Amino acid sequence: MKRKVIKRIVVAGILLTGLASSISIKKLDKVRAEAEAGKFDPVAYAQDFWDNELMPNLGGATLLSHLIPLLDQNPEKAFNEYSKALGIGNIRFFMVQGKGEIREIDENEITVMVQTEEGFHPVRIATEYIFGNAVRDASGRVDMADFEQTMDFNNVSAEINQLIRKEVLPGLKQNSQVGDKITFYGAIEMNKEQVNLSDLEIIPVKVGFEESKKLVENAGS
């Protein structure tokens, strides 16, 4: 009987140690070093990227009020100056910031009317289908050369998207009401050969609501 009890205690200790290790937050340089040693942890990498790379640098995101008119008048300049991409294909990514009024809410997205240098323009903020590499690649701060395996590189995107679902979407959905003033940061994926300004979808990474002169923020604050 005593042996069984001791064995259970040992097993429980091992499981708890493993769990604590799996949820620990590690510095990005350590995570990268472990990746080189074949011990890559995409959850830790994504969390460190979110806290120490993405959030502190959102102030440098391109203003939608400027980007939308530029995409309309001179798309080549807009892509050359503000977009990022991994290769030489047509798919590009923008990290943007904007503010406007919520005009419509449905189960998959929120439509916001944004004031630009030329007038008002609707954009869609995704609230349901969060997938792809938009945030990872729009940030310009995750280098594929740092990864020995493509799977690890792709798993980073999956974990970043999971953080959005956990950190951003609940507050966005709960607080949104038609007529609210909203500020937001997020990523846009766009084909430079098929620019469609009537269908701009933003993957949000930080959102704020102005209610009775009080800013209520969620994600990354």
pTM, to two decimals: 0.79
**Per-residue model confidence as pLDDT tens digits over 1-21:** 433 333 343 334 433 344 334
* pLDDT at position 187: 98
Domains and CATH numbers, the chain: 41-218 (2.40.50.420)
Pick left, alpha or beta for residue 92 (phi over 0 → left; psi -120 to 50 → alpha; otherwise beta): beta
For residue 215, is pLDDT > 80? no
Confidence of residue 117 (pLDDT cuts 50, 70, 90): confident
Q: Taking CA 123 as the corner, what is the angle to CA 108 and CA 174, rounded to the nearest 5 degrees?
A: 45
